[in-house]
Structure 1
Amino acid sequence: MSATPGRADARPDLPDNPPTPPVPPAPPPRPAPLAGNPRDSVRAALLIGACIGAVWLAGTALHAPPALIWAAALVLSTVCCWAVGVLPEPTATLLFFLCAVVFHIAPPTVVFSGFTSTAWWLMFGGAVTGVALRNTGLALRLADIIFHKRVGTYPQVIATVAGSAVGLAFLMPSTTGRVLLLMPIVLALSDRLGFAPGSNGRIGMVMTVALASYMPPTTILPANIPNSVLLGAANSLYHINLSYGSYLLLHFPVLGALKTVVLIWMICKLFPEKGPMAPQPATVRTAMGAQERVLAVILALAVAGFATDAWHGISPAWISLAACIICLLPGVGLVPPKALAEQVHLVPLIYVAGFLGLGAVVESTGLGSAISAGLLQVLPLAPGQTAANVGTIGAMGAVLGLLSTLPALPAVLTPLARDLATATGLPLESVLMLQVPVFSTVFFPYQSPPIVIAMQLGGVGLRHGTRLCLAMAAVTLVVLLPLDYVWWKLLGYLP
């Protein structure tokens, strides 16, 4: 047999095309990077341990019951985690829920009462209608109507947002409702102005809605929850009816109108946007579509229901929930199920439930009453020292406000009003009214759930909110409260 030409060394027992070597398996996918820094968890553990140790030492020295000590340790640890930001907000909130239930600090019905509160359902309903506002384009149209020819400069934008929030407080008695109505509109305007998420302009606009919806309206009856709680408690405990006109005259000029001006100035300083902005022409020139008209009717009816809740007795929360259900109805189509799942965020809902649950725990465990009674025994109150007495009562309220949410503050302070009036020699109505400067001054965002709701919906972090709240509190303490004291003296509320 002759050899194959050109293949003298070929072997007949091997195939012409040897097999391809096996491909090595692909390496497994790399795990996702860790969320956050592990050192944050260590810092959080150290902070919580320090809070527990401090409360335990103080409680033991004061011979407080162990149950009260553990309640105080939980409240202080949670508040510090929220204020400092060593843990993400939902993580700190869920940890509060777990510890409160596992260690029997309070019954589960109290711990989780935030999920059954009207404020939580008001937020949920407003979140759904906010999605409808964005999806239908009505938010952009309303932004055109409200802000057209009013956005020549950044301070003008902030002033318009603040004026809208304060003006709406005279018509809508729910702070959260105002936040949920204004936030989609303001975010739509922010997009039009080119303020990206995280920019100073967007942060400034969101924080304007947050603080202007709560701080100045504390001077308007019954625009906020603390106002309403004070109104009801004063009537039920002391048969004192706080009139709308006298309440407005006493509080609004300094803590309402002047504070709004200070807020506008402060936001422009802390979150500046340099350079003038050209007036924005209206971008929505077509007629309203069917979905926009339906949503406009729903919102108009909801706002009318909010404004007349004292007449018909239906909570704004259930009005908001009814509007939400209508938006979700098949055939109406304003919020499809997919948009409900993707655009209604769970984090702010958990966060708000935690704030409300914390206040309920403080009240149910008797922690707030115990702290108030203890402070009342050691405070330097004496008749005839008006300025010192006013400052002392304000400082006591500020301390209590740091341990719970501000809406719960009148429920704690009002029962002490008669004792405070006796100790100071001040009129009982004046002592009741002294609560307003306290719950209108916010040191940290967690003290006011509506502020937190606005920040969550606007995508603003706790650091920015804390920075602004502390700056506003400093100006309030140094400038506004002394002016308010002089105003009270002129009106005869203080001797």
Structure 2
Amino acid sequence: MSAAAASMVGGQGTVVAAGGLLVLCMGLWATGLVAEIVTALMFFALAMLLELAPAQTVFSGFASSAFWLVTSGMVVGLAMNRTGLGDRLARRLAAQLPASYPGFVAGLVAFSFLLAFVMPSNLGRIALMVPVVIALCDAFGLEAGRPGRTGAVLAFGIATPMLSAAILPANVPNLVMAGTAETLFGIHLGYLPYLFLHAPVLGFVKGALLVACTVLLFPDRLDGKRPELPPLPPLSGEERRLAAILTVMLGLWLSDGWHGIPPAWIGLAAAVICLLPGVGVLSPQSFGEIPLKTCFYVAALFGLTGIVNETGLGADLGHALLGLAPLEPGAPARNFATLTGLSIGFLFAATANGAPALYTALAEEFSRASGFDLMSVLMVQVVGYSTLFLPYQAPPIVMAMDLGRVSLRDATKLTLATGIVSFLAATPLAYLWFRLTGGLA
């Protein structure tokens, strides 16, 4: 490296270069001007060419357990599609849906939440279920152009990223947060404690608020008759094997506090079994159909936050934010609201996938200023990044819009209403639940 280049990236120059790389990558990821995989590879190339950090920091995302959980989630999602088990679950849902419009929407939202336990991929669930939701709308008489059809598609599309925030391995923002916390602080999150802390409010309360907003903004009614659906064929051998794999995987996730195996390695083992000849349900060649661009994107996010932390940029950003944010020890309610607001603010700049990386990199500064311990600071952000205001903040919503032929105007109307109501109603309830369960310390 030349002396001039060394001088440029040395000392304060390194912080400036890291800040420029942060703005460049987050801006491209947020706007979508360049494909996310191109931006990810650009990050790796520029970080190494400028020698902003050692290779083990730049490529630390590939060593993170969250990277492997994303990868294994892609495999499981493909298996659900290929075997037909996902479609079978959706057909069983249709048989249970009430023949009333509010019940129909509530059933779709509930199914979105339950499906996240066994199919840890937001985009996979959207790709699988939106065509099924459209078919269900047709079966229940909600033809194209009716507000109920728009409401049903959007309710499922918004529930997918919003409610899955309550389940640790179920979406990319959770994994970015968990992976960044592991990389920077050595913190490993447990599946069941995380679920217990977040599911009551972020799963159940926010789900109910989403249903209420959908029914109010897109009012419709069904004729009260349940459609006649053809009987399901018997379970195939592949479906039985996959169901067994998923049952064991979920059981081990729920009991990780007892056996101590991180969720990522359980998910990876399930993915391997799905690909084993004779035992699994996918051919090894099927791995070529996995969208690895998402995995590289996650790895790049972890590497970027590692650089932000190692260069001192995170500390500088933290001090700047603390000059504006009213954080002080002894004011837990105000601190909770402020941290939630900071997490929401990052959504507008970096979307739901990137926001946890930025917030988590500053968590130590927030912890010192608020008096909360580091784990509490990390958990508060989940309340924030699960509060979505605009469709672009969560790629699964955009994908649901495209598949369901829903206008941006309608999607924005529902995301904005749900975001405002969630912030005003669910955030105070989350604070009370955190206090009741010891989630704030």
Instruction: Report the TM-score when normalising by structure 2.
Output: 0.69
2:232 equivalent in structure 1: 285
Q: Which residue of 2 aligns with 1:213?
A: 164
Matched, 1:368 2:368: no
**Cα RMSD (Å):** 5.0
Q: 1:416 Cα deviation (Å)?
A: 4.0
Aligned partners of 1:87 and 1:164: how far apart in 2?
Answer: 34
Is 1:122 equivalent to 2:69 in the alignment? yes
Aligned-partner Cα distance in 2 for 1:351–1:80: 14
* Correspondence for 2:356: 406
What do residues 101-157 of structure 1 show as CA deviations (whole Å, max 9, x unaligned)? 222233333333333322222222222222222222222222223342316466544
Q: Give me the whole-angstrom Cα distance separating, in 1, the residues matched to 2:438 and 2:263.
A: 36
* CA-CA distance at 1:419 after TM superposition: 3.6
Structure 1 residue aligned with 2:18: 71
Aligned-residue offset at 1:368: 2.2
Partner SS, residue 52 of structure 2? coil
Whether the 8 Å contact between 1:149 and 1:279 is mirrored in structure 2 is no
2-side partners of 1:453 and 1:418: how far apart? 35
Pick the aligned partner of 1:177 from 88, 102, 120: 120
Report the Cα distance in structure 2 between the residues aligned to 1:492 and 1:113, rounded to whole angstroms: 32
The corresponding residue for 2:269 is: 322
Query: How many residues were matched structurally?
Result: 404
Partner of 2:146: none
Measured after TM superposition, the shift of residue 266 of structure 1 is: 4.6
CA contact (8 A) 1:114 1:353 kept: yes
Which has more helix, going by share of residues?
Answer: 2
Summarize the Cα distance change of 1:88–1:203 in structure 2 as closer, same or farther, 3 Å threshold: farther
Q: Does 1:137 align with 2:84?
A: yes
- Taking the aligned partners of 2:438 and 2:246, their CA distance within structure 1 comes to 43
1:350 is matched with 296
Is the Cα–Cα contact under 8 Å of residues 348 and 457 in structure 1 kept in the other structure? no
Residues 320 and 456 of structure 1: CA distance in aligned 2, closer, same or farther (over 3 Å): farther
Taking structure 1 as reference, are residues 372 and 108 closer, same or farther at Cα in structure 2, changes over 3 Å only? Answer: same
Superimposed CA distance per residue, residues 306-356 of structure 1 (whole angstroms, 9 cap, x where no aligned partner): 211222122222222222222222223621244333x32233333333333
1:93 aligns with 2:40: yes
CA contact (8 A) 1:183 1:457 kept: yes
Q: Tell me which residue corresponds to 2:245.
A: 298
Unaligned runs of 5+ in 2: 1-10, 144-148
In structure 1, what is the equivalent of residue 7 of structure 2? none
CA spacing shift, 1:151–1:85, aligned 2, 3 Å = farther
Q: Which moved more, 1:148-157 or 1:124-133?
A: 148-157
What is the aligned partner in structure 1 of residue 257 from structure 2?
310
Deviations for 1:272-319, whole angstroms, at most 9, x for unmatched residues? 697748645454533222222222211111111221122212222222
Shift of 1:260: 1.8
One-letter code aligned to 1:190: V
* Unpaired stretches in structure 1, ≥5 consecutive residues: 1-63, 238-242
Q: CA deviation at 1:213?
A: 0.7
SS at match of 2:96: coil
Q: Tell me: CA distance 1:410–1:105, structure 2 relative to 1, closer, same or farther (3 Å).
A: closer
TM-score by structure 1 length? 0.63
Distance 1:94 1:138 in 2: 35
| Aligned AA (2:305) | G
Q: CA deviation at 1:471?
A: 5.3
Q: Does the 8 Å CA contact 1:226/1:410 hold for their aligned counterparts?
A: no
Kept in 2, the 8 Å contact 1:89–1:351? The answer is yes
1:103/1:282 CA distance change after superposition, 3 Å = farther
Q: 1:186 aligns with which of 129, 132, 136?
A: 129
